[in-house]
């Protein structure tokens, strides 16, 4: 993708997609709960298939800033590029943008006495984490993602 064609999502875009739906995924991956349980560790299943959250600062991915891409742990859909990763100090890997607008779906989450926007893989519905409007410029977005939901893939 050339720099001229890069789309920068904003908080307004995220709220619109949470309300109206994300652009269609390029592919869908459907598995039974038992198939996901066989594929994932117990903690990966809890986080990705049951919308769990890993402990803050529990993964070395928070401090990893080498080039590469990050894919969904469940279906290997490419979600984030390391060039969009930053140290948010929150204890979870944080990104400013997905690689493409149709890779992430957004849902309003009113759990735990607050309103947030949940992020899920648009291909397999794996829970990734949440997105917040307190990230760095130019987007102002902070995708706060569970490391257990990601698989780091070396740069090609």
Chain centroid to Cα 121, Å, comes to: 7
> Active site residue: 72, 121, 124, 144, which one?
144
What's the farthest any 2 CA atoms get from each other in the chain?
Answer: 43
Q: Tally the C-alpha atoms within 13 A of residue 43's C-alpha that lie toward its C-beta.
A: 9
Residue whose C-alpha is closest to residue 106's, from 28, 9, 13, 18: 18
CB of 120 within 8 A of CB of 126? Answer: yes
Backbone angles phi, psi at 129, to 5 degrees: 160, -135
125: Cβ–Cβ under 8 A, 6 or more apart, which residues? 105
144 in active site: yes
CB of 118 within 8 A of CB of 110? Answer: no
- Residues annotated as catalytic are 144
């Amino acid at each position: 993708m050339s720099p001229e064609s890069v789309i920068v999502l904003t908080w307004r875009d995220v709220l619109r997609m949470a309300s109206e739906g994300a652009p269609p995924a390029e592919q869908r991956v459907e598995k039974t709960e038992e198939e996901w349980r066989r594929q994932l560790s117990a903690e990966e299943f809890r986080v990705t298939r049951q919308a769990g959250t890993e402990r803050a600062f529990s993964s070395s991915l928070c401090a990893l800033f080498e080039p590469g891409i990050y894919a969904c742990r469940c279906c290997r859909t490419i979600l984030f590029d390391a060039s969009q990763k930053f140290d948010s100090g929150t204890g979870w890997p944080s990104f400013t943008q997905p690689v493409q607008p149709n890779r992430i779906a957004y849902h309003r989450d009113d759990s735990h006495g607050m309103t947030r926007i949940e992020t899920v893989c648009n291909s397999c519905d794996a829970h990734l984490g949440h997105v917040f409007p307190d990230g760095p410029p130019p987007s102002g977005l902070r995708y706060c993602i569970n490391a257990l939901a990601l698989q780091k893939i070396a740069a090609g």
